[in-house]
Amino acid sequence: MKVGKLRNTIAAVSLAVAALSLVAVNVTAQVPVSPFYEAASKMIPEGKLGQVIKKEEIKTSIHGARAWLIVYVSSDIADHKTIATGLVVAPTGKAPKEGRPVVAWAHGTTGTAQSCGPSQILNPAVPLNEYFLVGGNSWTDYGLPAVSEFIKAGYIVVGTDYQGLGGGGKHQYVVSVTQANDTINSIRAAGDLKETGAGKKAVIYGWSQGGATVLTAASSGAYVSQKGTAFDDIDIVGFVAMAPADIAVLAPMKALTPASAEVMMQSLFKAFSGNVFNFTHMAMNLWGTQAAFEDKLKLTDVFTDEGAKIIDDVVSKKCMHAAAGTLSFTYGTGYPSLMKPKVSNAMAWATAMLAGSVPDEKPMAPVIIYWGTHDTVVPPVMGALYREQMCQKGANVTRVQLPGEQTHYSTPGASQPFFVPWIQDRFADRALENGCSAN
């Protein structure tokens, strides 16, 4: 073949590949979701907090239980009403006169795209099923820890997807105030769903991202006590946090300055840039924080121009593990090049991240934290510092080191034999030792 003809052939192939690439981009521009969630994403957040505005009963293999997908009204860190989706599982039969207690699950990281809500799995009303563990059967984590045990005990279990993971809008990932609101409102939603027979007593339990949600909800007394919701006067009697994240507890002790804000942000980047998996968590955190404070923050403050476009494209369309895989495939070990060497707006970013994190306020009820010695995802020192700060405020915070060498991902399973009786004791109003008295 002559050189000129070969060049023409190569050019034609290149154009064809480029055209196919453009077609692929156009085809995948929208995240596909089922009709239930497509409808949810188009709903206007009107109504009372916790009001169920759409429901669909689904099958469940949990013995003696019924289950529903729900769409309900919530609100974010700016008090803007939002739409959240979730899953409710309740015992069959007649509820007691005082109503059934509610256990609200705050899930760990699944991603930031509309398709990342755990309730969107084909059979979501099952015990917790983890992607990383042997026995995991999906591309994500889903399910409700100890759901069978709780149903047998006569409790309702509700699991929020969080705002932005099925109900429209950008998910404000690790803006824990927003996720705490979503979880509190999921309790109200369980009460608004009359078929459940819900009472007022509740406990919140969560892991990782959900652990931060638990700690934040524990200090959200004013939000819990407000009137005019779909289910007023809920009484949250305990909080269970497994491997909880808490960015605020690592903040500078003194008031932020531009210099300390820059140090804080660079420390965050360094801590989460060791591998592409942790980097993806951080990228989603920055993306979610910008979504919550879009009038003050830009992705190009922290990412290069290319990085901002890539991160926005990837995390808005793919869930956690697929997003990490894409960044690894595309950049190999060069993913840190997506970050700017210096944050352009460090003070605003640090302020926003602290505002969305765990409040420095005394919890409204006892808190228990479970942690493993081999957790390399969320530093256990976060929970230790949280306990120290809250104990100084007169709270009752217990911190339990799990037996064996538990990782971040084995923490929920290893915690279950401990938190199930602890929650049962809270609903039974049994006496509880002061966790702050222990060494």
251: confidence class by pLDDT, cuts 50, 70, 90 = confident
Same domain (yes/no): 303, 373: no
pLDDT above 90 for 161: yes
Same domain (yes/no): 228, 340: no
Question: Are the CB atoms for 207 and 250 separated by under 8 Å?
Answer: no
Grouping H, G, I as helix, E, B as strand and the rest as coil, residue 362 is: coil
pLDDT value at position 271? 83
Among the listed ranges 65-69, 141-145, 262-266, which one has the minimum average pLDDT value?
262-266
Report the percentage of the chain scoring pLDDT > 90: 86
Taking only Cα atoms into account, the Rg of the chain, rounded to an integer number of angstroms, comes to 22
Same domain (yes/no): 242, 271: no
pLDDT value at position 267? 87
Say whether pTM exceeds 0.85.
Answer: yes
Same domain (yes/no): 165, 56: yes
439: confidence class by pLDDT, cuts 50, 70, 90 = low
Q: Residue 92 and residue 410: Cα distance in Å, rounded?
A: 31
* Domain containing residue 214: CATH number: 3.40.50.1820
Decide which of 355, 387, 404 is a domain's last residue: 355
Write out the residue range of the structural domain in which residue 269 sits.
258-355
Asked if residue 7 belongs to a domain, the reply is: no
Asked if residue 404 belongs to a domain, the reply is: yes
Decide which of 355, 390, 415 is a domain's last residue: 355
Q: Residue 232 and residue 216: Cα distance in Å, rounded?
A: 20
Instruction: In the chain, count H helices and then E strands.
Output: 13, 9
Same domain (yes/no): 293, 383: no
Tens of pLDDT, residues 98-127: 999 999 999 999 999 999 999 999 999 999
Q: How many domains does the chain have?
A: 2
Asked if residue 415 belongs to a domain, the reply is: yes
Same domain (yes/no): 346, 389: no
Asked if residue 21 belongs to a domain, the reply is: no
Decide which of 355, 384, 413 is a domain's last residue: 355
Asked if residue 34 belongs to a domain, the reply is: no
Same domain (yes/no): 210, 276: no
Same domain (yes/no): 313, 269: yes
22: confidence class by pLDDT, cuts 50, 70, 90 = very low
Asked if residue 159 belongs to a domain, the reply is: yes
Tens of pLDDT, residues 185-212: 999 999 999 999 999 999 999 999 999 9
Report the percentage of the chain scoring pLDDT > 70: 93
Asked if residue 280 belongs to a domain, the reply is: yes
Same domain (yes/no): 408, 377: yes
Question: Are the CB atoms for 24 and 163 separated by under 8 Å?
Answer: no
Asked if residue 413 belongs to a domain, the reply is: yes
